[in-house]
Amino acid sequence: MLRNALTLTAVALLSLAGAAIPVGAADAADPTPGAPKKLFTIDDSRVDESSGLAKSSRYEGIWWTVNDSGDTARVFGVDKTGKVRVQLKFKAPVKDVEAIAVDTDGTIYIADIGDNNRNRDMIEVYTIPEPNQLEDEENVRFHRYDFTYPDGAHDAETLLIEPASKRLFFVTKVKKKAGTIYAAPEDASREGTNKLTEYADAPASEYGVTDGTFMPDGKTVVLRTYLDVATVAWGDTPTLVARSATPVAQGESVAVGPTGSDILVGSEGKNSPVYEMAAPAKKTAAKPPASTNPAATPKPAANSSSTEPKKSHSLRWIVVGAALLALIITFITFPAGRRERLDRMAENARLTGQPPPNPHGRRRSNA
């Protein structure tokens, strides 16, 4: 109510000042579309350090998450109220799970890629299928893929899956400078070790990239840091489009949101909140609304302000010119010497009782 009152007051002041009121001025006071709002809180005691989030391909309103290092090999399915609907366990010797992703076929990828001390010779990615039903499973069948970097060990917390090709990409976590995006072979093998190749630089960040996701169109990627998210145009040279701050600190996760065009952002720790927000987009200058009635279109203020002074100046010069013309006519018609002489003759005539002098040189007759 207060917002509406302030808006109407502003409109009234604009009207009194003679300013044009833009169409939709009242709507401009509404909250920005896509502003962050809390969608749910993960309050299950089993999820005490959520370190990744991925939207399910098979179940609407379900997101998969994993705990950070120190947990066993398991995945949790969380709904839009924050309730854990399913727990999937698989028997793998995980070290430091940091990311999770889901491809378009419904395969869940669990990325054991954390390496704070940068001393791992190899990193692993495990895959399990999304379940046929949302029921707990204790011994899910899994596949394992091994990877090595071409230039030594790196710490990483981000796994990306390109929607069309299902190719894997890893983003290293580097503080205060750009990390690196590494690409897996187009057809990663479960036999032997897959060698990663350097693909491109990631956007520089104060705290490093902690998670990421491809958007469904496959043309953009959203990367998460502790404090913000960045939209990146994907291609041979990934390019930063825009950044936005997030409402939660110690940000560890980002996923495609409920609509498919928005995103979810979360943080680690117990009772971690998850927010829904718009993916950062490049701002464009707003264009004024086009008028369909030319007669109703107000003239620019510059034109009206320049026309009025011209009219005022013209009227002023007309008045001054008329006055000058009158004076000139007066002096031409009645020269100063003649006018004084006529005045004296008229006064003498009054005193002697004679007729007043004729201004044209002839005496007036008494008859």
Domain of 123: which CATH number?
2.120.10.30
6 is a domain residue: no
Residue 366 lies in a domain: no
Q: What is the pLDDT of residue 158?
A: 98
Q: For residue 337, with 0-12 CB atoms within 10 Å meaning exposed, 13-18 middle and 19 or more buried, which class applies?
A: exposed
pLDDT in tens, 131-164: 999 999 999 999 999 999 999 999 999 999 999 9
220 within a domain of the structure (yes/no)? yes
User: How large is the average pLDDT for residues 117-125?
Assistant: 97
| Gyration radius from the chain CA atoms | 41
Confidence of residue 250 (pLDDT cuts 50, 70, 90): confident
Residue that has been written with the tokens 């996923």 in this structure: 255
- Does residue 360 fall inside a structural domain? no
pLDDT of residue 258 exceeding 80:
yes
- Give me the chain's average pLDDT, please: 80
Strand pairing class (37-42; 272-278) = antiparallel
Please check the confidence at residue 88 and state whether its pLDDT lies above 70: yes
Into how many domains does the chain fold? 2
Tell me how far apart the alpha carbons of residues 247 and 318 are, in angstroms, rounded to a whole number.
Answer: 68
- Within this chain, do residues 70 and 209 fall inside the same structural domain, yes or no? yes
Q: Do residue 305 and residue 201 come from a single domain?
A: no
Do the domain assignments include residue 358?
no
AA letter at 299: K
pLDDT, average across residues 330-343: 49
Residue 208 has pLDDT above 50, yes or no: yes
Q: Does residue 105 sit within a domain?
A: yes
pLDDT for 344: 59
| pLDDT value of residue 49 | 93
- Please tell me whether residues 254 and 348 are part of one structural domain: no
Identity (one letter) of the amino acid at 126? Y
Helices (H), the chain: 2-16, 301-333, 336-352
Q: Are 122 and 147 within 8 A, CB to CB? A: yes
Question: Does residue 324 register a pLDDT over 70?
Answer: no
Q: In this structure, how many other beta carbons lie within 10 angstroms of the beta carbon of residue 143?
A: 14
Tell me how far apart the alpha carbons of residues 85 and 82 are, in angstroms, rounded to a whole number.
9
How many Å is the maximal CA-CA distance in the chain?
Answer: 145
Instruction: Name the band, by pLDDT with cuts 50, 70 and 90, for residue 79.
Output: very high
**Based on the domain organization, do 206 and 321 belong to the same domain?**
no
Work out the pLDDT band at 268, boundaries 50, 70, 90. confident
Q: What φ, ψ does residue 231 adopt, rounded to 5°?
A: -90, 130
CA–CA distances in Å: residue 150 to residues 147, 189, 214:
10, 17, 24
pTM (whole model) above 0.75: no
Q: What is the pLDDT of residue 297?
A: 45
- Same domain, yes or no: 135 and 262: yes
- Whether residue 272 is contained in a domain is answered as yes
Pair of tokens at residue 35? 């502003």
Give the span between the Cα atoms of 78 and 66, in whole angstroms: 11
The CA distance from 77 to 129, in Å, is 13
Residues 306, 184: one domain? Answer: no
Can you spell out the DSSP letters for 172-222?
E--TTEEEEEEE--TT--SSSEEEPEEEEEEEEESS---EEEE-TTSSEEE
Residue type, 365: S
Q: What is the pLDDT of residues 8-52, one digit of tens each?
A: 333 333 333 333 333 233 323 334 556 899 999 999 999 999 999
- Residue entry with tokens 């009242």: 26
- Is residue 291 in some structural domain? no
Phi and psi at residue 143, to the nearest 5°? -120, 150
Q: Which two tokens stand for residue 83?
A: 């309730």
- 345 with 253, same domain? no
Shared domain check, 231 and 90: yes
Claim to verify: residue 167 and residue 95 sit in the same structural domain: yes
Residue 10 burial class via C-beta count within 10 angstroms: exposed 0-12, middle 13-18, buried 19 and up: middle
pLDDT at residue 106 is higher than 60: yes
For residue 165, the model assigns a pLDDT of 97
Lowest mean pLDDT among 27-31, 195-199, 296-300, 335-339: 27-31
Structure-model confidence comparison of residues 115 and 333, the more confident one = 115
Domain containing residue 341: 301-352
Tell me how far apart the alpha carbons of residues 4 and 19 are, in angstroms, rounded to a whole number. Answer: 20
What DSSP character marks residue 165?
A: T
Strands 193-195, 143-148: pairing kind? parallel
Residue in the block written with tokens 């969608």: 39
Residues 235 and 324 grouped into a single domain: no
Question: In terms of domains, do 223 and 317 share one?
Answer: no
pLDDT at 249: 79
344 and 230 share one domain: no
